[in-house]
Amino acid sequence: MTTLTATPHRLAQYWALTKPRVTQLAVFCAVIGMFLASPDLPDWHVVVAATIGIWLLAAAAFAINCLVEREIDSRMARTARRPMARGDITVPQTLVFSGVIGGAGMWVLYNLVNPLTMWLTFATFVGYAVIYTMLLKPATPQNIVIGGLSGAMPPALGWAAIANDVPMQAWLLVLIIFVWTPPHFWSLALYRRDDYAKSGLPMLPITHGLAFTQFHVWLYTIALAATTMLPYAAHMSGLIYLASAVILDAIFLWRAWQIYRHYTDLIARKTFTYSIIYLSLLFAALLFDHYFKF
Please check whether residues 122 and 16 belong to one and the same domain.
Answer: yes
**Position 294 confidence tier, pLDDT thresholds 50, 70, 90:** low
Please check whether residues 92 and 74 belong to one and the same domain.
Answer: yes
- Cβ neighbors of 288 (< 8 A, separation 6 or more) are 240, 241
In whole angstroms, give the CA distance from residue 4 to residue 246: 52
Please check whether residues 235 and 191 belong to one and the same domain.
Answer: yes
Domain hosting 267: range is: 167-294
| 54-84 per-residue burial string, b: 16 or more CB within 10 A, e: under 16 | bbbbbbbbbbbbbbbbbebbbbbeebeebbb
Please check whether residues 68 and 107 belong to one and the same domain.
Answer: yes
Please check whether residues 201 and 291 belong to one and the same domain.
Answer: yes
Of 78, 277, 275, nearest in space to 191 by CA: 78
In whole angstroms, give the CA distance from residue 37 to residue 156: 9
Please check whether residues 157 and 214 belong to one and the same domain.
Answer: no
pLDDT computed for residue 4 by the predictor: 39
Global pTM? 0.91
**For range 245-249, the mean pLDDT:** 98
Domain count along the chain: 2
In whole angstroms, give the CA distance from residue 269 to residue 199: 19
pLDDT computed for residue 168 by the predictor: 95
Please check whether residues 205 and 70 belong to one and the same domain.
Answer: no
Of 92, 108, 126, nearest in space to 55 by CA: 108
pLDDT computed for residue 217 by the predictor: 97
Which of 60-69, 201-210, 283-292 tops mean pLDDT? Answer: 283-292
Which of 149, 165, 181 marks a domain boundary? Answer: 165
pLDDT in tens, 129-152: 888 888 877 778 877 877 778 889
